[in-house]
Amino acid sequence: MDVLRTPEERFAGLPGFPYEPRYADVADGLRMAYVEAGPADGEPVVLLHGEPTWSFLYRHVMPELAAAGLRAIAVDLVGFGRSDKPADLAAHTYARHVEWTRALLFDALGLSGVTVVGQDWGGLIGLRVAAEHPERVARIVAANTGLPTGDIPMPEVWHQFKATVLRAPVLDIARLVQAGCRTRLAGEVRAAYDAPFPGEAYKAGPRAMPGLVPITPDNPAAPANRAAWQVLTTLDRPFLVAFSDGDPITGGMAPILLKSISGTSGLRHPVIEGAGHFLQEDAGTELGRHVAAFVTST
């Protein structure tokens, strides 16, 4: 496949994000990037972002985890951040993103006893990885995300978002992130979200992701997601639902997760007030404290 790699100078001077990038090959020379904070021997907490962000999104979460003695690992999905970017939309499939992420976490990094934290597409991928490899997973955190099978209609706002992403001649990444936040992003923060994408050719990942969501029961990814639901509903791992109070896209998934997944019982699940879809931007420190408390108390 035709793969692009963002020049490193694009990431100079990132505000509040001093972490040195690390890299690993996950498939035929395809490289994924990640950053770490906290002690190397700390319990691993994997942070998975969504569309169209990257690990920079977790810059307020990571210090809270590190302060609790945890090893925070924030990943850049393929097509995002510092990770390599297949230029063809068809190169991006749900199954490939699950496999690329699995290869990074378990083959390249050799992680076990992992707490998987997923938001947006980070949840769609992370929940699949957790369900398919439960022996590697200690806990799960779902934050403004879900695991669609196409059996429940997506909200109209999501369809509007999908149409915008597919049709826009120039995809304004920073504007999309801002639209999912309650707080006003500073210019340097908006620039950080634009940094991974020097031109339109680099944006196949963000453009492809909405079309990969299973929105009909016969979607190619639907059977695998249904199988993952079967595992997650009975999996004996603590499962935290940490949603914001202002996400029109995934907000309806919180009660479904709480009702369906046995690992949620007996836990106090926070509702983070005043935050939008990208709750890491609006309330990252608070989210980080909730995750740290969850990991250290279970």
Q: Report the mean per-residue pLDDT for the chain.
A: 96
Structure confidence at residue 164 as a pLDDT band (50, 70, 90):
confident
Q: Which of 49, 92, 97, 277 is catalytic?
A: 277
pLDDT in tens, 25-65: 999 889 999 999 999 999 999 999 999 999 999 999 999 99
Q: Which of 49, 92, 97, 120 is catalytic?
A: 120
- 28: Cβ contacts below 8 Å, ≥ 6 apart: none
In which element (H, E) is residue 141 found? strand 137-143
pLDDT in tens, 228-278: 999 999 999 999 999 999 998 899 999 999 999 999 999 999 999 999 999
Is 120 one of the catalytic residues? Answer: yes
pTM more than 0.85: yes
Q: Which of 60, 247, 282, 290 is catalytic?
A: 247
Structure tokens at 121: 């597409």
Report yes or no: 92 and 209 within 8 Å, Cβ to Cβ: yes
Position 158 scores a pLDDT of: 82
Q: What are the phi and psi torsion angles at 220 (to 5°)?
A: -55, -30
Nearest CA among 126, 147, 144 for reference residue 136 = 126
Structure confidence at residue 88 as a pLDDT band (50, 70, 90):
very high
For residue 31, the cross-strand partners are 25
> Quick check: 90 pLDDT over 90?
yes
Is 41 one of the catalytic residues? Answer: no
pLDDT in tens, 194-227: 999 999 999 999 999 999 999 999 999 999 999 9
Is 25 one of the catalytic residues? Answer: no
Position 188 scores a pLDDT of: 98
Q: What CA–CA distances, in Å, run from 192 to 60, 84, 139, 200, 242?
A: 14, 17, 30, 16, 25
